[in-house]
């Protein structure tokens, strides 16, 4: 018999969040609804006017794609109507979006509505990444988001590829669900995702190699000498999903253009680091554990070395 993500979350909730009284599962059903809406638009890109730039520049200084805007609006709408949500933080919004439920809202949801925007128009996999934090009692506004990643209640992503797969953890394992278009539900397809202890791929944008710190270059040369192959899609979610299933290592090192790394801590590195560790892998910023970093800003960037235990531990020996 099939198990949908809703059923799975209810099972998890009964075991993990007995006091959640449905608020946790209601929040995640808002997430699955929004990602189904986003998937429906992506699937019709080219048939409907969803390709190309929306013409605005976001807080990141990047040109917003139409699908970035649509995805963001879908998530703000579907999550903003859930009683348990106190605040939303999005890559596309300079400030947190506070829902005036300062007493009832238990959770803060942080998300990258559309990851891999540069790949939308060329039909390459893109994704949505999310992270769920509990709002500390009596804490409101940005302060409620400034929590290290180890405090996440849940995290996950949807990778919109040849199939759309919803992957999440609530701190007790990693589970994957494939969208069955015939019934419009995410159905359990990976009941216990584990990252291989070692892989054969490394994943990095080699165009920036000349500006990587030297120990990154030495490390990558060592992997090449061992016969590793290179895979780089340019959508973090897709590069992570491959690393989760096949093992290996993903890196976004400090570069001249992004001396602190390009990826955002709160809605890219933290949720994927939580998933990586739950699946038996590791995630560091080049020296410290990603999940231990105390955030100072909602759009703060970080370097990232993430993947199988063997490859990340080998990197740590270089530092
Ligand atoms: P986003 O589309 O949400 O801005 O994220 C893009 C990120 C990430 O998906 C990917 O790993 C990285 O940018 C690629 O950066 P480069 O093109 O500099 O390699
Ligand atoms: Mn992104
Ligand atoms: Mn994005």
Domain boundaries, the chain: 5-190, 201-316
Ligand 1 centre from 308 Cα, in Å?
Answer: 21
For the CA of 119, the closest atom of ligand 1 is: 2
Nearest-CA residue for ligand 1 atom 16 is: 234
pLDDT at 12: 79
pLDDT at 120: 87
Mean pLDDT score across all residues of the chain: 93
Using only C-alpha atoms, what is the Rg of the chain?
A: 19
CATH 3.40.190.80 corresponds to the domain 201-316: yes
Per-residue model confidence as pLDDT tens digits over 186-219: 999 999 999 999 999 999 999 999 999 999 999 9
Ligand 2 centre from 226 Cα, in Å?
Answer: 30
Q: What per-residue string of b and e applies to 86-117 under the rule 16 or more CB within 10 Å gives b? A: bbbbbbbbeebbbbebeeebbbbbbbbbbbbb
Please tell me the distance from the alpha carbon of residue 270 to that of residue 91, in angstroms, as a whole number: 14
Q: Would you state the structure tokens that stand for residue 42, as one six-digit string?
A: 């992506």
How many residues belong to the chain?
Answer: 319
pLDDT at 134 over 80: yes
Q: Are 128 and 38 in contact (CB under 8 A)?
A: yes
**Closest listed ligand to the CA of 114:** 3
Per-residue model confidence as pLDDT tens digits over 79-113: 998 989 999 999 999 999 988 776 778 999 999 99
**Closest listed ligand to the CA of 68:** 3
Kindly report which listed range (12-21, 144-153, 224-233, 263-272) carries the lowest average pLDDT score: 12-21
For the CA of 237, the closest atom of ligand 1 is: 9
From residue 180, alpha-carbon distances to 25, 32, 104, 146 in Å are 20, 13, 34, 37
Average pLDDT for 169-197? 96
Quick one: which of 40, 43, 32 has its CA closest to 177?
32
Pocket, ligand 1, Cβ cutoff 6 A? 91, 112, 115-117, 205, 234-236, 262
Taken in order 153, 158, 164, 165, the sign of the CA dihedral is negative
Ligand 2 centre from 91 Cα, in Å?
Answer: 8
Nearest-CA residue for ligand 1 atom 6 is: 116
CATH 3.30.70.260 corresponds to the domain 5-190: no
Q: Would you state the structure tokens that stand for residue 126, as one six-digit string?
A: 């893109």
Ramachandran bin of 222, using left for φ above 0, alpha for ψ from -120 to 50, beta for the remaining angles: alpha
Ligand 2 centre from 52 Cα, in Å?
Answer: 17
Helix residue spans in the chain (DSSP H):
5-16, 23-43, 66-80, 214-225, 236-246, 270-278, 309-318
Ligand 2 centre from 206 Cα, in Å?
Answer: 18
Per-residue model confidence as pLDDT tens digits over 12-55: 777 777 776 678 888 999 999 999 999 999 998 877 777 777 77
Per-residue model confidence as pLDDT tens digits over 242-275: 999 999 999 999 999 999 999 999 999 999 999 9
CA 312 to chain centre: 19
Of 314 and 20, the one with more pLDDT? 314
Ligand 3 centre from 211 Cα, in Å?
Answer: 24
What's the pTM value of the predicted model, to 2 decimals?
0.96
Nearest-CA residue for ligand 1 atom 3 is: 115
Average pLDDT for 136-165? 95
**Residue 271 backbone dihedrals phi, psi, to 5 degrees:** -60, -40
Please tell me the distance from the alpha carbon of residue 263 to that of residue 93, in angstroms, as a whole number: 16
Q: Which of 268, 272, 305 to mutate to test the pocket of ligand 1 (most atoms within 8 A of CB)?
A: 268
Q: Would you state the structure tokens that stand for residue 168, as one six-digit string?
A: 């999440």
Please tell me the distance from the alpha carbon of residue 316 to that of residue 176, in angstroms, as a whole number: 29
**Closest listed ligand to the CA of 234:** 1
Ligand 1 centre from 148 Cα, in Å?
Answer: 22
Nearest-CA residue for ligand 1 atom 17 is: 234
Q: Are 241 and 159 in contact (CB under 8 A)?
A: yes
């Amino acid at each position: 018999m099939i198990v949908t993500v809703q059923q799975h979350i209810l099972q998890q909730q009964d075991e993990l969040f007995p006091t959640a009284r449905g608020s946790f599962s209601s929040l995640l059903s808002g997430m699955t609804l929004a990602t189904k809406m986003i998937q429906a638009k992506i699937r019709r890109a080219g048939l409907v006017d969803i390709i190309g730039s929306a013409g605005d520049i976001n807080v990141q200084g990047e040109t917003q794609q139409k699908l970035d805007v649509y995805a963001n609006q879908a998530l703000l709408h579907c999550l903003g109507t859930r009683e348990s949500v106190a605040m939303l933080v999005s890559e596309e919004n300079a400030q947190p979006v506070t829902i005036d439920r300062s007493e009832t809202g238990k959770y803060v949801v942080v998300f990258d509505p559309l990851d891999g925007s540069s790949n939308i128009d060329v039909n390459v996999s893109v994704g949505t990444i999310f992270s769920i934090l509990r709002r500390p009692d009596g804490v409101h506004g940005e302060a409620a988001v400034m929590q290290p990643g180890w405090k996440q209640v849940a995290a996950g992503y949807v990778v919109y590829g040849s199939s759309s797969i919803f992957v999440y953890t609530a701190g007790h394992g990693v589970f994957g669900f494939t969208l069955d278009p015939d019934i419009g539900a995410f159905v359990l397809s990976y009941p216990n995702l584990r990252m291989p202890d070692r892989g054969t791929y490394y994943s990095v944008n080699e165009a920036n190699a000349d500006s990587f710190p030297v120990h990154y270059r030495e490390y990558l040369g060592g992997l090449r000498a061992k016969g590793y192959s290179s895979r780089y899609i340019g959508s973090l979610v897709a590069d992570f999903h491959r690393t989760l299933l096949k093992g290996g290592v993903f890196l976004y090192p400090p570069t001249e253009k992004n001396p602190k790394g390009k990826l955002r801590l709160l809605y890219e590195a933290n949720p994927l680091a939580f998933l990586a560790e739950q699946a038996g892998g590791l995630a560091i910023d080049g020296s410290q554990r990603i999940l231990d970093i105390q955030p100072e800003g909602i759009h703060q960037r970080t370097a990232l070395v993430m993947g199988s235990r063997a490859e990340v531990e080998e990197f740590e020996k270089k530092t």
